[in-house]
Amino acid sequence: MTEKKHEGERIAKRLSRAGVASRREVERMVAAGRVSVNGEVLESPAFNVVASDRILVDNKPVAAAEPARLWRYYKPKGLVSSNSDEKGRETIFDRLPDDLPRVMTIGRLDLNSEGLLLLTNDGELKRKLELPSTGWVRKYRVRVNGYPTDETLAPLRKGITIDGERFMPMQVVLDRQQGANAWLTIGLREGKNREIRRAIESINMTVNRLIRVSYGPFQLGDMKLGEVDEIKAKILKDQLGIERAPEIERKVAPTEKPRAPRVRQVRPGSASPGISLRGKKRAGSKVKRKPIPPPKGPKGKRD
């Protein structure tokens, strides 16, 4: 098939915008012979398409790209963030509501981490928000086993190298010591694999709970475990410059599926104002919240 050099957009970008897969995954799909345009199987991803082209993936037509949409998801611990898992473990996509369109994760949270995960139907938006150049800070509440001090946390604030891999300086605040554990608030501008866990291990401590509470301007707030909540059009416009029709806004209730672990909310210490799992009360909510007392437990025991 002859490449169209001067019109349209690359097939990988087109399918990514349509929410089929990431650009890299589309390139693999093309190499596997799964993509055809106007009846001809593509041999290379270096191919441009226009609006009038008929595109098939696995012999199924690809719908026109929808307006970009964004959701917050409170990921429970114990779920894999990828679409499938070679070990057969349950993924977040097994728990998402059935009426949610095809979505992709913006970044990931590892199996043993929980908290805010952003979802989108648009591959270009996914790519944009994952780039370090976006400059968004991702904040985490981290419980570590040990007795950290400003001196022991200094390497993380300066930036460290682990096994030849350089980690950029982190924002680290010691919130409180609680028996043999301590709560930290950590902010990152990049998201390397198991970055926080590896960094904490490098200063001879271990992470026993990790919760992402924000991704740039988007907060976990008072979301419930497993809840999916669509970001409103006005916020998308204000934060990302994205315009879309307000009639497609909706909120998806938490899924009624088993084995979602219970999460006890924790209140941050005074050293970290504004970072909370509870957040602010959403407009229109009739639920009257009660103060959550700090966890109790015998000294030296995990809370």
Residue 168's pLDDT band, with cuts at 50, 70 and 90, is very high
Least confident range from 13-22, 126-135, 278-287: namely 278-287
Grouping H, G, I as helix, E, B as strand and the rest as coil, residue 146 is coil
Residues of the chain with CATH 3.10.290.10: 9-61
Beta strands in the chain (DSSP E): 9-10, 35-37, 40-41, 48-49, 55-57, 60-61, 70-75, 104-106, 114-120, 138-145, 160-162, 165-167, 171-178, 181-188, 206-215, 218-219, 228-230, 251-252
Confidence (pLDDT) at 172:
97
Interacting residues of 67 by C-beta distance below 8 A, sequence separation 6+:
242, 244, 245, 248
Residues of the chain with CATH 3.30.2350.10: 70-252
Confidence (pLDDT) at 285:
45
Residue 250's pLDDT band, with cuts at 50, 70 and 90, is very low
Q: Which CATH architecture has domain 70-252?
A: 2-Layer Sandwich (3.30)
Q: Which range is most confident: 43-47, 84-88, 195-199, 279-283?
A: 195-199
pLDDT at 288 over 70: no
Q: Is 138:190 a contact under the CB 8 Å cutoff?
A: no
CATH number of 9-61: 3.10.290.10
pLDDT digits (tens, 9 = 90+) for 82-123: 887 888 899 999 999 988 988 989 989 999 999 999 999 888
pLDDT digits (tens, 9 = 90+) for 225-245: 999 999 998 888 888 877 654
pLDDT at 266 over 60: no
Confidence (pLDDT) at 141:
98
Interacting residues of 106 by C-beta distance below 8 A, sequence separation 6+:
117, 118, 119, 120, 125, 126, 129, 130, 215
Which CA distances in Å does 294 have to 76, 144, 182, 264, 297? 21, 17, 13, 10, 10
Residues classed as catalytic: 110
Express as a percent the part of the chain with pLDDT over 70. 78
pLDDT at 27 over 60: yes
Interacting residues of 180 by C-beta distance below 8 A, sequence separation 6+:
145, 146, 147, 300, 301, 302
Please report which residue ranges of 195-299 form alpha helices under DSSP H: 195-202, 233-240
Q: Which range is most confident: 48-57, 142-151, 182-191?
A: 142-151
Q: Which token pair is 8?
A: 């349209």
pLDDT at 159 over 80: yes
Give the whole-angstrom CA distance, residue 3 versus residue 19: 23
Least confident range from 40-49, 187-196, 231-240, 243-252: namely 243-252
Confidence (pLDDT) at 282:
43
Between 84 and 168, the higher pLDDT residue: 168
Between 197 and 286, the higher pLDDT residue: 197
pLDDT averaged over every residue in the chain: 81
Which CA distances in Å does 207 have to 8, 117, 146, 181, 210? 48, 19, 9, 9, 7
Give the whole-angstrom CA distance, residue 75 versus residue 111: 10
Strands 114-120, 206-215: pairing is parallel
Confidence (pLDDT) at 1:
55
Least confident range from 94-103, 121-130, 167-176, 200-209: namely 121-130
